[in-house]
Each structure stands twice: as C-alpha cells, then as structure tokens.
Amino acid sequence: MPELRTTYLGLNLRNPLVASASPYSKKVEKAKELADAGVGALVMHSLFEEQINHESRALDHFLNQGTESFAEALTYFPEMDHYDVGPEKYLKLIGELKKSLSIPVIASLNGVSSGGWVDYSRRMQDAGADALELNIYFLSTDPTVTSSDLEKAQVELVQQITESVRIPVAVKLNPFYTSLPNFAARLVDAGAKGLVLFNRFYQPDLDIEALEVVPTLDLSKPAELRLPLRWVAILYGKLKADLALTTGVHSGEGVVKALMAGSQVAMMASHLVHHGAGEAANVLKELESWMAAHEYTSVDQMRGALSQKGVANPAAFERANYLQVLTSFDTKLK
Ligand SMILES: Cc1cc2nc3c(=O)[nH]c(=O)nc-3n(C[C@H](O)[C@H](O)[C@H](O)COP(=O)(O)O)c2cc1C
C-alpha cells in the first residue's frame, strides 16, 4: 500500500487530506465523523475579529451599566451564562475537539486589523490548538488606499500573531495580489509556517426586481481547482513554508493534482458539506488506488512533480501559455 503519511506545519498527519474550515467543527459529533472517515487533520470554522470585538464591547457595556458599586457589579456575573459568549465557547470547543479526536486540530482566526482580538491567538494555543490558521479575508474598496499600505498592515498583523504564539501559524490568503510571490515571501519572513491558497470570496448577486444585493454562498465546483493549482505550482520550492491548497478539491484525483503541483496537503470543504463526511473515506481510497496504479509509493514522491520547477515547460504556467490557449480556439469557431 502506498505511504500516505505526511507532515503539515511540522505536525504528523496520517494522510494529506485535511478538512478545510467549515461548519463541521461546530459540533464534536460532526467533526468526529470526519476523523472517523479518515481525514488527516481538521481546520475549525473561524472565530471572527468582529465576534471578539462585539463581545468585548458588549461585556464593557454590561459591566458598566448601573455599576454603582463593585459588589453590585459582581452580582451581574452569573447572568453572563445566558449571554452570547461566542469566543469563550470557541475556546471551550477547541478543548472538546482535542479530547475527542486523535488528529491535529487547527483553530482558525479571521480578521485584518490589529487590536485586542489578536490576543485570541494565544488563547487558542492555550486551549490546546495544534496550530493556527489566520484568515486575512479582506476586500479593498477605497481608491485612496494603496496595495503596499494594505500589504504592510497584513504582514505586521501576521508578525504580531506569530510572535505571540509557540504553535505554528498558517496564513489563508486571497488570490488577488499584484505580486503574490512577493507578498507570500513577506508573510513567510513574518513567521508564517504555511500558506493556505486560497480564500474563496463569496460573490454577492444583485436582485434586479427587489433592487437588493443578495449575499450568496455557492459551494465550489471542481474547475475552481485550477486557480490555486497554478499558484501552488508557481510557489512550490520558492518559500520556506508549507503550501496547502484549498478550493475545488472534490476527488482523489483533485488531491493528486494538489500534491503534484506542490502542496503539502489538500483541503476540502464543499465536497464534504455537500456529500457528507463519509466521502472523505472514498476520496482517500481514490488517492490510494491512483497511487498504486501509477506505482507511487509515497505522497512525498509525487509532491511537486508538476510544479513550475518540475515540468519540462515552466512557461505553461505563465503569460506565454495565454496566447497559446487563445489561439487554440481559433479553429473551433462554429
Ligand atoms: C459552509 C462553509 C463554511 C465555511 N466557513 C469557513 C470559515 O469559517 N473560515 C474559513 O477560513 N473558511 C471557511 N470556508 C471556506 C472553506 O474552508 C474553503 O476554503 C473553501 O470553501 C474552498 O474549498 P472547497 O472548494 O473545498 O469548498 C467555508 C466554506 C463553506 C462551504
């Protein structure tokens, strides 16, 4: 049987299929289904900067309302049980998941600005998380803000977080940077041990009858694999960090492509959300059968074989390929 074991962020994984952040981690029983189906590690759903800030503001408000005396203020505390303590619940959940699962648990923190919420990285570590995934989901809408200002702030945020924890930190980023390799290298210099490519932006739709913007979350399609695949292939071997591919992995074949492009692990969310946790076992079986049929003995042997460095024609990932792809359509016009 081929060797599926691998490492990610210095953690030992039984295989390279990682459950990407999704609602599966919200309930221990559901997360356990994923672990039972064989996934190598679990990334938890994110705790958002906004949730943390909301709670601390609410707590301030709660404690300062009518607190004529300290003793009186103390009597309010029991009621906190009924209050929405999202971040505290998240920390508790980390402990529960760690207790019930024998696979690494990666907590996810989602935010962009610096501030008190960053402290939660250390609290996640103290709650037992094996690693941290920092999701810097940000969309710039202000024409006066430059990309270099934004990138600088994001790099500083990553540095602040990596300096405050001992566990490894991976950064989940967007595909839309003018020079992704440069930004990626700066994140690694700032202490990131892994890069998770990519965040999938949820594109709002427009309701032209109701004249409203409609928030839309569609699950991914397998063709979406190509965007992260190309970037993993380009970045492979150029950075001192693990690459994790997320978006569009829907099968064992998708995992093979991710590994061959150069990713350390392949992450999966939509396929599991759509078909159930048990699908992870089928995907792993497909991976194993493919490897056996093609005489690969380990995932390490496959990794990077089709990266930009590994292929005979590295320009296939670049602009040169663009012209070729377009002209190949000239003969197909009806
Ligand atoms: C229902 C759902 C919830 C998600 N929640 C999170 C989240 O909390 N944090 C995060 O970083 N990504 C979240 N994601 C994104 C996934 O982790 C993943 O990166 C993305 O869906 C692309 O992978 P896929 O093609 O396998 O779905 C979510 C995705 C789905 C479908």
* Centroid of ligand 1 to alpha carbon of 21 (angstroms): 5
| Of 135, 108, 121, 134, nearest in space to 166 by CA | 121
Distance of CA 140 to the CA centre of its chain: 20
Task: Verify whether ligand 1 is closer than 6 Å to residue 108 (CB atom).
Answer: yes
Q: What are 34-80's pLDDT values in tens digits?
A: 999 999 999 999 998 888 877 766 655 555 554 444 444 444 444 44
Q: What are 104-124's pLDDT values in tens digits?
A: 999 999 988 877 788 899 999
% of residues, the chain, pLDDT over 70: 91
Distance of CA 176 to the CA centre of its chain: 16
Task: Verify whether ligand 1 is closer than 6 Å to residue 250 (CB atom).
Answer: no
What's the whole-number average pLDDT of the chain? 90
* Centroid of ligand 1 to alpha carbon of 246 (angstroms): 8
pLDDT of residue 59: 53
Chain length of the chain: 334
How does DSSP assign 258-314, residue by residue? HHHHT-SEEEESHHHHHH-TTHHHHHHHHHHHHHHHTT--BHHHHTTTTSTTTSS-G
In the block, tokens 């190949």 appear at 328
3-state SS string over 14-44? CCCEEECCCHHHHCHHHHHHHHHCCCCEEEE
How does DSSP assign 131-147, residue by residue? EEEEE-------TTS-H
Instruction: Give the whole-angstrom CA distance, residue 179 versus residue 296.
Output: 34
Q: What are 221-277's pLDDT values in tens digits?
A: 999 999 999 999 999 999 999 999 999 999 999 999 999 999 999 999 999 999 999
Task: Verify whether ligand 1 is closer than 6 Å to residue 249 (CB atom).
Answer: yes
Q: Crossing angle of helices 279-293/252-261, nearest 10°?
A: 60
Mutate to test the pocket of ligand 1, among 17, 18, 22 (most ligand atoms within 8 A of CB): 22
Q: Please, what is the Cα angle at 191 between 185 and 197, to 5 degrees?
A: 55
Which atom of ligand 1 is the closest one to the Cα of 43? 17
| Ligand 1: residue whose CA is nearest its atom 22 | 247
Task: Verify whether ligand 1 is closer than 6 Å to residue 247 (CB atom).
Answer: yes
pLDDT of residue 81: 44
Average of pLDDT values for 91-116? 93
Q: What ranges make up the beta strands (E) of 73-202?
A: 105-110, 131-135, 169-173, 194-197
Residue 297 has pLDDT above 90, yes or no: yes
Question: Which amino acid is it at 155?
Answer: V
Helix (H) or strand (E) run with residue 187 in it? helix 180-189
| Ligand 1: residue whose CA is nearest its atom 9 | 46
Higher pLDDT, 317 or 21: 21
Instruction: Give the whole-angstrom CA distance, residue 124 versus residue 32.
Output: 20
pLDDT of residue 85: 53
Which atom of ligand 1 is the closest one to the Cα of 250? 26
Which atom of ligand 1 is the closest one to the Cα of 248? 25
